Structure 1
């Protein structure tokens, strides 16, 4: 060891014979002024004499280096300093004197109580009381901690780690966590196998109506594993269905909550979002100046192509937004004769005022029957389902009701699950009908075609279907031929050849009416008696997959559409979608609801709607109505397909993005031709 009392590196040898007694020898260089001295040793005389002879026989080595050494007694002081436990007058020095953290300096945790802090301070002061710098360092650390605790009491600071530890150590959390245990290896392997099978089925066998089969398998697997754990089939069924519902809510609402609220909203809700950005939404009653709402442009009655002019005029209206400083509606009267009418009236109404049926009912409440100018228009009523006679088939009637209730629950869960996966990740295929990003902000072109309602009813009666079934079948056939032709044009193939890719997915978003047609009377009374009526968007949404394929028998399109719609009709899915949208608005605000709606539209391809119109011809203030052609724009889909019945006619209205569908009239031809082929197939079968 090195002795600090020497100015040069003079080594000292130590011989230890017991833990408390040593003998040290200082060996200087020859010719130096350092004197050799024995340090006291209690050894026997013989050992002393031997050590003396050893020292006398040492040959000193001449060196040129000279060391200036302090006085001899300092060697003894240095030795005592190195072995302080052997010195009688030793002064202890605080080893953490230079540590800046006051808690580490006192050797306590940051969560120590005041009693623990005071005890640590007293202990260290007592131990290092002989060294003033140590005492000062201990006192400074103690004072710093005390002042910090004082400020924390005045301005409490949330200690997340402590709070989390307190929560995890609470009785409730301990009781909950104690009920869980690490699953066995075979359970983990079975669960992994189920997930792998579901993933393979989803990738290899995509279904047309959505992953209903995969959802059923996952629900049954969940119930199986819960039953394996609880050994109770009833509780397993209850927990499985409950977990399914909770997972849908969590997957929908929590995922929606992380969507940035600054996403650009749809035009159909831009009034609400713009008001929201300015602060609270304030609705005030405004004075209506007709000059700011009704426009009658001066037109040349002898123009070359009036139909094309009207089409371009309406398309240009979709390039502009409604002025938010006035009530959100505009009327354009075009005094130009077209192929179907002597003049046109265009209503441009913001969708925030109400849904399609509410706006249509409000407008039609201004009309009257041509046959009776005092009567309001009449609309078709839905026939009630005829139930079986339970007096003769009581047990069969009970079984039928139970089975229908089960199907209702199952179809509702399937629709809710389908809505969730479409919202989260499931997208349609990239087809010639799928709009690109930003399609909702581009102008639309609106075209229409009128067909015979009698032809639709003929197919309906022959196939035991409904009007909706026939229209969906006609739309599926027309879209199949149109998409096949577009793929053929891209490949340069023959038009009659099947050019459709495999597993193509095209889904229609269908708004479902949740209000009745009887409200048209309320609108009429509102205008006659100056009453008030609430206008709102009261519609649910379902997703209808279009089976895009070329079929040899045109009636197969109607049969397949009927089977799909029958399942969708026996479901509370639209009601769940409506209340979910209301909940999102109340919980997360309008902007999040707009983002959710935009995400749904961007994942699907077509908006499909069928509105039942008046059963007879009507007039508005003495002017007979030739046709009604509704449509909508501002959503993230390139194709909007509306069917509007009126008297004995059916008007097919298309709203398209020209960049995606450059030939909308050709698509109208496909729709008309598909209805004709299906009608001919019905006649040939008869």
Structure 2
């Protein structure tokens, strides 16, 4: 059971160059990892977990590959004929705990994740992933993947493909694309082509100023831009992680009233929560000087997690790696007329303009070109500029809409975060089974009480919901 071998539907051993994005994530001063944790209904059966992990690993050649140096020091993925799954599944001795209430302590899980993030990089003589079974009660598992292996969307699809096939409820919410309507006439076709050309021209015109701002954000380093309470923090390292569960139905109420998206509500409620937190924690002088430079991660894959999940299950070859771009998003901490919904309206307005441009594609392309043509020192400079000029990082991942089971054990909670990111505050949201689970990673010097920030965000959503239920529905 300890050896993962290739299945009949998997291609032969391969060698593939590391993508430009992968090389950026492998930089020594970044070495970015994805940390995803799952909480379960029952204690984890380690033997069943290893069998489920082994079945998942067989599906993806990238997870059976190691980094090797090629000509001119270029890195490539080289597939191993087999791997030892036992060496990748870390199950420490179980700890004694007198108070076993059947739940894993969230604070304990968060501290474990932060400890993994700061434990140093994984050795590169083996595939860059590990599965850690938390010793206390063994009701939680942390999946540790290097970001060079792929983005969160592809890794989520791989996780779902490893779930129990008998689970007929397995599905993803809000991740499908509706098919295009058939052309009814030549006139309709001509009108659509003209409209398409118009949208393209509009997107190009909007992209130019955004591209200039992105290059400025990356190429030059601004002084004293980091959000700080009580002083400026240079290159903050996130040392605290807090969790928050929001009701997805409450977010949908706000979304429907404002004709917005869940992502708009997510950005708006985080902005409102930060505003409430700073009003309570910061001095009046600090409030005047606070300016939030936000970054929003954008999935550039044409197929979503649901499509990738189906392709993996069918044994089809899919393109692994990272397909992530970014929006630079100034975050407003000032509402209008004490109306909490104004934060969502501002987020909706800004994101709509961003989505009708090619800013995310430009950021992806510029990073790819930098990874191909710049030396390591230049890449490190660009990376440091990008991080020092950013205050807040936001990402939103669409997860399963129904309960899932892994290794014959029902998953009760999903969380995802990264080992290090630009900004002093990183907020990652993943939806699952009617809940929106937020992981808030902060520099302790900047946000000394992240639990209080979680409470402000939670209260902010409730205020938005009450305001939205009392408002008239805006027609689409």
Q: TM-score, normalised by structure 2?
A: 0.75
Q: CA deviation at 1:397?
A: 7.3
Q: CA deviation at 1:426?
A: 6.6
SS at match of 1:685: coil
Q: Given that residues 70 and 76 in structure 2 are in contact (C-alpha distance below 8 angstroms), is that contact kept between their aligned partners in structure 1?
A: no
Q: Deviations over 1:127-160 (max 9, x none)?
A: xxxxxxxxxxxxxxxxxxxxxxxxxxxxxxxxxx
Partner of 1:510: 296
Instruction: Find out whether 1:314 has 2:113 as its counterpart.
Output: yes
CA distance in 1, matches of 2:309, 2:406: 15
RCO higher in structure (CA 8 A, sep ≥6): 2
SS at match of 1:330: strand
Q: CA deviation at 1:332?
A: 1.1
Partner of 2:145: 349
CA distance in 2, matches of 1:402, 1:533: 31
Q: CA deviation at 1:684?
A: 1.9
Q: CA deviation at 1:424?
A: 2.8
**Aligned length, in residue pairs:** 402
CA RMSD of aligned residues (A): 3.5
Partner of 1:329: 129
Q: CA deviation at 1:285?
A: 2.8
Q: Given that residues 476 and 557 in structure 1 are in contact (C-alpha distance below 8 angstroms), is that contact kept between their aligned partners in structure 2?
A: yes
Partner of 2:310: 521
Q: Given that residues 585 and 592 in structure 1 are in contact (C-alpha distance below 8 angstroms), is that contact kept between their aligned partners in structure 2?
A: no
Partner of 2:205: 410
The correspondence for 1:592, drawn from 363, 367, 378, is 378
CA distance in 2, matches of 1:576, 1:627: 35
Q: CA deviation at 1:281?
A: 2.5
The correspondence for 1:361, drawn from 157, 161, 168, is 157
Partner of 1:543: 328
**Cα 1:375–1:395 shift into 2, 3 Å:** closer
**Cα 1:416–1:571 shift into 2, 3 Å:** same
CA distance in 2, matches of 1:345, 1:436: 33
Q: Deviations over 1:172-209 (max 9, x none)?
A: xxxxxxxxxxxxxxxxxxxxxxxxxxxxxxxxxxxxxx
Q: CA deviation at 1:587?
A: 1.6
Q: Given that residues 435 and 638 in structure 1 are in contact (C-alpha distance below 8 angstroms), is that contact kept between their aligned partners in structure 2?
A: no
CA distance in 2, matches of 1:664, 1:586: 38
CA distance in 2, matches of 1:564, 1:317: 36
SS at match of 2:83: coil
Partner of 1:617: 403
Instruction: Find out whether 1:449 has 2:240 as its counterpart.
Output: no
**Cα 1:319–1:559 shift into 2, 3 Å:** same
**Cα 1:484–1:550 shift into 2, 3 Å:** farther
**Cα 1:423–1:641 shift into 2, 3 Å:** same
Q: Given that residues 633 and 655 in structure 1 are in contact (C-alpha distance below 8 angstroms), is that contact kept between their aligned partners in structure 2?
A: no
Q: Which structure has the greater CA radius of gyration?
A: 1
**Cα 1:513–1:300 shift into 2, 3 Å:** same
Q: Given that residues 170 and 402 in structure 2 are in contact (C-alpha distance below 8 angstroms), is that contact kept between their aligned partners in structure 1?
A: no
Structure 1: 5+ residue stretches without partners: 1-262, 492-498
SS at match of 2:445: coil
Partner of 2:32: 268
Instruction: Find out whether 1:634 has 2:434 as its counterpart.
Output: no
**Cα 1:533–1:673 shift into 2, 3 Å:** same
Partner of 2:434: 648
Q: CA deviation at 1:505?
A: 2.3
* Larger relative strand fraction: 2
**Cα 1:276–1:661 shift into 2, 3 Å:** farther
Structure 2: 5+ residue stretches without partners: 1-26, 34-64
CA distance in 2, matches of 1:590, 1:361: 32
CA distance in 2, matches of 1:272, 1:589: 22
Q: CA deviation at 1:356?
A: 1.6
Instruction: Find out whether 1:437 has 2:240 as its counterpart.
Output: no
CA distance in 1, matches of 2:207, 2:282: 36
Partner of 1:462: 257
**Cα 1:536–1:668 shift into 2, 3 Å:** same
Q: Given that residues 611 and 643 in structure 1 are in contact (C-alpha distance below 8 angstroms), is that contact kept between their aligned partners in structure 2?
A: yes
Instruction: Find out whether 1:553 has 2:339 as its counterpart.
Output: yes
Q: Deviations over 1:413-446 (max 9, x none)?
A: 122111012113374734327973343xx45322
Q: CA deviation at 1:310?
A: 2.5
CA distance in 1, matches of 2:71, 2:30: 15
Q: Given that residues 402 and 433 in structure 2 are in contact (C-alpha distance below 8 angstroms), is that contact kept between their aligned partners in structure 1?
A: yes
Q: CA deviation at 1:319?
A: 1.7
**Cα 1:410–1:501 shift into 2, 3 Å:** same
Q: Deviations over 1:277-301 (max 9, x none)?
A: 9944354334422232111222223
Q: Given that residues 183 and 189 in structure 2 are in contact (C-alpha distance below 8 angstroms), is that contact kept between their aligned partners in structure 1?
A: no
Q: Deviations over 1:551-607 (max 9, x none)?
A: 411111111111111100101111122122222222224553344233212211111
Partner of 1:500: 287
Q: CA deviation at 1:506?
A: 0.9
